[in-house]
Amino acid sequence: MGEDSPGDTSLKRSSPSDSSSGIGAPPLVEMGCVGAPFGVRGWIKVRSYMDPPERVFEKRRLLLLCQGAAETYKIEATGRSGGQLTAKLAGVDDRDRATALRGAVIVLARAELPDSRPQDFYRSDLLGCEVVNVAGRVLGVVDHFIETPAHALMVVRGEAEFWVPAVPQHLRRVELASRRVVVDWDEPAA
């Protein structure tokens, strides 16, 4: 499962999905998160789950979920530093305000998402899906995702907990209609 590359074997960090993909699909879709402050003038580092990553800035505003509250910020400027996306948000004018946003989740209303192909999906569409390995053994259900510098990990909880790399090598098929994900992942030997 890669970034946001199309295909039915790709888990997209913020992968386009058929917005009608699931019963009870969440109204907000996670598009990224806010990292550390960048400098002393209110800039923030941004981790985008989109492909290309800069797409997170397309709306020229960010809806952030932070400490139980949602707030929309106008984007004043964007940039890059060492490969990391950065942004300057209106009203965030110093390092303290930028620090307060660290860890905020960047979301977009599902209704604002562009039309997509049926084989595309968002990570939030996979939450609660049954996960089976290629041998047909049920491993559990998708509980959440963990970001690592290399890629996302899909946390599967059942009789045991599995952290499956969200990359095409391990994600074989996503069946949104039946709420099922097939992975190439073996259980560790006991």
Q: Do 28-112 and 1-18+116-190 have the same topology in CATH?
A: no
What pLDDT digit, counting tens, does each position of 53-106 carry?
898 998 899 999 988 888 999 999 999 998 899 999 999 999 999 999 999 999
Spatial distance between the Cα atoms of 72 and 104, rounded to a whole number of angstroms: 12
Query: Are 170 and 150 contacting, i.e. CB atoms less than 8 angstroms apart?
Result: no
Mean pLDDT by 10 residues, the chain (190 residues): 32 34 62 93 91 87 89 95 93 96 91 73 87 94 88 92 92 91 80
Order across the sheet with 180-183: list the strands.
Answer: 161-165, 152-157, 138-147, 130-133, 180-183, 171-175
Q: What CATH superfamily is the domain 1-18+116-190?
A: PRC-barrel domain (2.30.30.240)
* Whole-structure pTM value: 0.67
Comparing C-alpha atoms, which of 37, 9, 10, 19 is closest to residue 125? 19
28-112 CATH fold: Elongation Factor Tu (Ef-tu); domain 3 (2.40.30)
Torsion of CA 120, 122, 126, 131, to 10 degrees: 50
Domain boundaries, the chain: 1-18+116-190, 28-112
